[in-house]
Amino acid sequence: MIAGFIDRRPKLANWLYGFTPPERGTVVLVHRRVYIVPARLGWIFGATLAILLVGSINYALSLGFALTFLLTGMGLAGMVHTARNLARLAVSAGRAEPVFAGESAQFRLYLDGRAAFDRPAILARHLGSGAQLVVDIPSGALVEVVLAVPAERRGWLPLGRVMLETRFPLGLFRSWSYVEPDARCLVYPRPERSPLPPRGADTAAGALRSPVPGNDDFSALRGYQPSDSPRHVAWKAVARSDDMLTKQFTGEAAAELWLDWRLLPAALGLENRLSRLAGWVLAAEREGAQYGLRLPGVEIAPERGDTHRAACLQALALYQETTA
């Protein structure tokens, strides 16, 4: 209830949590940002101490007093140790590889112990999704935490707030801190499997321009590139020489493959059209075709390869419908 109240008031939350999100670079958890409260076990421990104290008084047990007070001191020391387990931890975010909507974005956080002691049992939890992981940070080590955050929608997915929590060493106290590193993950539209549009589709009319497939006319051999489809490798030529060669086709393949927004019916809706286009990009890449992408206001010239594919998918992910 209180958490909800605070979260609805960002300014209050920023003041309370001691930072303004998102935070760039490395975030050091200064003491100001590390909170601590007794855990449930802490209350039980307190009750045990009370019973021990009453027993010591009642039976006038000097060693009972000594035990009670030693345990009290241990509770105090435990509190400081629990806070220390998080204090001055340095958190930075790594790169998150793009994913398709419906998959999980793999956010990488780096927890740098920056201390001569180890920091065991630290929980990193993504508050939005509940993705969580417990890690031990050895002394002076840097530990990578991968939080798998479900990516529901295309576009940029910001990491959001992450809670770091620990109860080490005694479990009597719960210490935690929030960070919101400046990390985001690109989410491509959810790809929809469908047959590729015909080559050289007439963009203007939306009719087919030429039914001729683009990889018929063999023109020459060229050096192999890693992105070339295995079906285009000149295996016979490879058998004769040691070089990998790729068959090149001329292209009235000029009948290029255009993955065009307008090939899809408007009735499909924006997201579905983008999904269909994403599916086409994947299929075209799989076939080893040269393909271009046309969106309203965006045109990416035909090309192939991973970079091209990524550019196309990014354009789809970030596409904003400008006109109403």
Task: Report the nearest approach of other proteins to the CB of residue 104 (Å).
Answer: 16
Q: Measured from the CB atom, is 166 or 275 closer to other proteins? A: 166
Task: Report the nearest approach of other proteins to the CB of residue 83 (Å).
Answer: 7
Count of residues in the chain: 324
57 binds other proteins (CB under 8 A): yes
The label of the residue with tokens 């204090």 reads 87
43 binds other proteins (CB under 8 A): no
233 binds other proteins (CB under 8 A): no
Q: Which stretch binds other proteins (CB under 8 A): 10-18, 75-83, 211-219, 244-252?
A: 75-83
Residue of 13, 52, 183, 316 that binds other proteins (CB under 8 A): 52
Q: Which stretch binds other proteins (CB under 8 A): 127-135, 220-228, 240-248, 266-274?
A: 127-135
Task: Report the nearest approach of other proteins to the CB of residue 147 (Å).
Answer: 13
What residues numbered 291-310 form the site for other proteins, per CB under 8 A?
none
Q: Measured from the CB atom, is 72 or 106 closer to other proteins? A: 72
Classify each residue of 281-316 as buried b or exposed e, where b means 16 or more C-beta atoms within 10 Å of its C-beta.
bbbbbebbbbbbbbbeeeebebebeeebbeebbebb
Residue of 37, 51, 208, 268 that binds other proteins (CB under 8 A): 51
17 binds other proteins (CB under 8 A): no
**Rounded CA separation 159/242 (Å):** 49
115 binds other proteins (CB under 8 A): yes
Binding site for other proteins (CB under 8 A): 3, 31, 39-41, 44-45, 48, 51-52, 54-74, 76-81, 83-84, 87-88, 114-118, 120-121, 123, 127, 130, 132, 134, 136, 165-171, 174
